[in-house]
Amino acid sequence: MTQNTSTEFLQAHKQAETFSRYIEVLLHASETPLTDNDLKKHLMIGSSELKDALAVLQERLSHGVLTLNQTASGYRLQIKDSYSSLIQQVFPERLENLSQALLETLSVIAYRQPVTRSDIEQVRGVTVSSNILRQLFDKGWIVENGHKDTLGRPALLHTTQAFLDAFGLHSLDELPPLPDLERLKVRQ
């Protein structure tokens, strides 16, 4: 490595370190996740500088209690999962209890979307409470998006970006795989 190349490398690393600190400040100050475009615009940097700065930030955070999480809405800082039991003990009111029925309904929508209410009931084997759907709509986790071309034209339900954000997902592709149901069937 020549003296010039070495100097350029050190300057680039110093610049990435500086921008990583700016990104950390912006993420702490923001009430919502920030996208690549938000960060590039606010810091007046390009994609390559942003990528380098995010890598430096990720490395620095790996030694602390926070993690950089990219969701469908952008980047946000959050407390590492390994500290969740402490948070639950000290601040039990912060953790929202979601009912089994709500989680099952949300899971059917997430994995099989677009679905109708009837589709959900068929998968779950029970009637879907209007209250459950209302809670999911109120949280902004599901929306009606179109209608099925069948008798009664029932609404088609989809998950939203808010759902992805709430569960720390960047896309639906990050949902955990469903177990192989055929393999789990009891042989008769």
* Separation between Cα atoms, residue 161 and residue 73, nearest integer Å: 7
DSSP symbols for 93-137: GGSPPPPHHHHHHHHHHHHH-SB-HHHHHHHHSSPPPHHHHHHHH
Residue 150, classed as helix, strand or coil, is: coil
Q: Mind listing the pLDDT tens digit for each residue in 33-91?
A: 999 999 999 999 999 999 999 999 999 999 999 999 998 889 999 888 888 888 877 87
Domains along the chain?
Answer: 3-85 (1.10.10.10), 96-184 (1.10.10.10)
Q: What is the pTM of this model?
A: 0.65
Q: Mind listing the pLDDT tens digit for each residue in 142-165?
A: 999 999 999 999 999 999 999 998
**E-strand stretches of the chain:** 66-71, 74-79, 142-147, 155-159
CB 102 within 8 A of CB 132: yes
